[in-house]
A and B are shown apart, each in its own frame.
Chain A
Amino acid sequence: MPLTKKELALRAIIALDGMYPGQGWLLREAEAELAIDLGLHDFSEAMARDERRALLQQDYSVTLSSGIGNPITATGSLTSAADVLFESIRWGAVVDADGNMLTHVEHYNDFRRFQQPGYKYFTLHNQRIYVRSAASGDYTTDLGDVNGPLTVTANFIATATTVPAELTDEATRYVMNALLRLPGVIVGESVPAT
């Protein structure tokens, strides 16, 4: 059964009340709800860099227009929400409509330069995915040489209901840490990872 937002908030404040009794944690239910977004964003970013990233990955279908696609508005195959963690695309996969796996180029200015022929490429720039082939060597010609839509496998920004059961405790810990960072609580403390 997936977590609910209320359950995640309650898990966090009940655990904090156990760790730091007598500080009114159980009355911070509303603060905990706000901390969920902060905590789960941290959690999602950390998971994207973690070996467990696949637990928070899904496919996004991204249409192309002149070699440019917008993944931010694309909805995920599992969550049906526009929730892509943009920076995680580089650790996922980008496949064109013909089944070609595109190669990631870190910087846009490198991406515009000459690339090794025989491969197709993508880079993340200006809140978009830019794609090209290296057939002609000229960017303006090659950008039209990739067929969409792209299938982008990337991490999503988790919400309470989309946290996989396996990562529930981890997500709760991130929400607790977000709560601990709020003004008026124990500054500098953090919940240790298990």
Chain B
Amino acid sequence: MSTTYNTIERRVSTLLNNLSGSTASDAETTYTTVPLTISQYDNAYFPPSVVQDAIVDTEARIVEEICLNGNHPHRTLFADTTADLTSNADLPTTGASGAKIIGPLGDVYDSTNLTPLTKNSLKMITLIRDSENGMFQNSYYFYCISDRKIYHTRSRPGVKIAVCTFARSTFASASNLKTPDEYNDLLVYGTIATLAGKVTSYEQAGMYYAKMWDAEVQKIRNFGRSIDPTKNAAPSEY
């Protein structure tokens, strides 16, 4: 969040031997140049735009991994809500900001008074909404998601759903990353794994960083999930 895209670009480019400078002094000068341009690049495999595209794509993949894990606290960093949804509305694919929804849907709550709704059966919601001869007079906060629609017992404007959304960044050297700083290494690993794996002479580097990427991504995927000791038993020979 407080690291710039340029920092990731120069780390990636250094590890891929992209940057010019045959002495430590020259390399340092190149490394600290902001923004890096084609003048500092010296590797035809990975020109600046290729690296920069890979960085923003990798950032999007990290955000996706965070948002896909409903237990992950960093989902809050990408929090958004849907627009107001009346009962029988199609589930939206974008949040109120217009960005694409990623990961599981969060709480459903009344658009007006922000009271959270509770899941109930579609049949019960239908009965309450029909309220034959006014048999239901109380107000209810129930919802049900069925197929691609949401049904609920609230009147207009309806409900909102808490969601995570993300729109792919535009690379800007001086701008801050959208991911927290602790993901900087992961962003470097993922970017290199994406780039290096496609060039034969970098194949080993690609495999190495792909492993690093996988290991770090597993941490995100497993966050908040308890370990069942019966499913992780030691091998029988021990």
A3 CB to nearest B CB, Å: 12
**Contact of A30 with B140 in the complex, beta carbons under 8 Å:** yes
Which residue of chain A has the shortest Cβ distance to B138 in the bound complex? A6
**Contact of B118 with A30 in the complex, beta carbons under 8 Å:** no
Contacts between the two chains (Cβ within 8 Å), count: 22
B35 CB to nearest A CB, Å: 57
**Contact of A33 with B127 in the complex, beta carbons under 8 Å:** no
**Contact of B135 with A29 in the complex, beta carbons under 8 Å:** no
Q: Which of A27, A29, A33 meets B137, CB within 8 Å?
A: A33
**Contact of A30 with B137 in the complex, beta carbons under 8 Å:** no
- The winner among B128, B138, B140, B142 for most chain A CB atoms within 10 A is B138
- List residues of chain B with CB within 8 A of the CB of A29: 138, 140
How many B residues touch A, CB cutoff 8 Å? 12
Which residue of chain B has the shortest Cβ distance to A29 in the bound complex? B140
Which residue of chain B has the shortest Cβ distance to A37 in the bound complex? B135
Interface string of A10-52 (1 = CB under 8 A from B): 0000000000000000010110011000000000000000000
- List residues of chain A with CB within 8 A of the CB of B124: 30
A5 at the interface (CB under 8 A from B): yes
Q: How large is the interface on A (under 10, 10 to 19, 20 to 34, 35 or more residues)?
A: under 10
- List residues of chain B with CB within 8 A of the CB of A9: 138
**Contact of A33 with B139 in the complex, beta carbons under 8 Å:** no
Which residue of chain A has the shortest Cβ distance to B120 in the bound complex? A27
Which residue of chain B has the shortest Cβ distance to A33 in the bound complex? B138
B136 at the interface (CB under 8 A from A): yes
**Contact of B139 with A6 in the complex, beta carbons under 8 Å:** yes
Quick one: which of B117-149 are within 8 Å of A by CB?
118, 120, 124, 127-128, 135-140, 142
Q: How far is the CA of A29 from the CA of B128 in the complex (A)?
A: 11
B128 CB to nearest A CB, Å: 6
- List residues of chain A with CB within 8 A of the CB of B139: 6
B89 CB to nearest A CB, Å: 22
Q: How far is the CA of A157 from the CA of B127 in the complex (A)?
A: 26
- List residues of chain B with CB within 8 A of the CB of A6: 138-139
Q: How far is the CA of A34 from the CA of B136 in the complex (A)?
A: 7
A14 CB to nearest B CB, Å: 14
Q: How far is the CA of A5 from the CA of B140 in the complex (A)?
A: 12
Interface string of A55-73 (1 = CB under 8 A from B): 0000000000000000000
- List residues of chain B with CB within 8 A of the CB of A34: 135-136
Which residue of chain A has the shortest Cβ distance to B119 in the bound complex? A27
Q: How far is the CA of A162 from the CA of B145 in the complex (A)?
A: 38
Q: How far is the CA of A87 from the CA of B231 in the complex (A)?
A: 67
Q: How far is the CA of A50 from the CA of B127 in the complex (A)?
A: 36
- List residues of chain A with CB within 8 A of the CB of B136: 30, 33-34
- List residues of chain A with CB within 8 A of the CB of B128: 30
B87 CB to nearest A CB, Å: 15
Which residue of chain B has the shortest Cβ distance to A6 in the bound complex? B138
Q: How far is the CA of A30 from the CA of B140 in the complex (A)?
A: 8
**Contact of A5 with B137 in the complex, beta carbons under 8 Å:** yes
Which residue of chain A has the shortest Cβ distance to B124 in the bound complex? A30
Q: How far is the CA of A27 from the CA of B139 in the complex (A)?
A: 14
- List residues of chain B with CB within 8 A of the CB of A30: 120, 124, 127-128, 136, 138, 140, 142
Contact A5 B138, CB 8 Å, known A30-B127, A30-B128: yes
Can you list 15 A-B contacts with CB-CB less than 8 angstroms, sorted by A residue number? A5-B138, A6-B138, A6-B139, A9-B138, A27-B118, A29-B138, A30-B120, A30-B124, A30-B127, A30-B128, A30-B140, A30-B142, A33-B136, A33-B137, A33-B138
Extra 8 A-B pairs, beta carbons < 8 Å, given A30-B124, A30-B128, A30-B140: A5-B137, A27-B120, A29-B140, A30-B120, A30-B127, A30-B138, A30-B142, A34-B135
The 6 A-B pairs of least Cβ separation, nearest first, read A6-B138, A33-B138, A30-B128, A5-B138, A30-B124, A5-B137
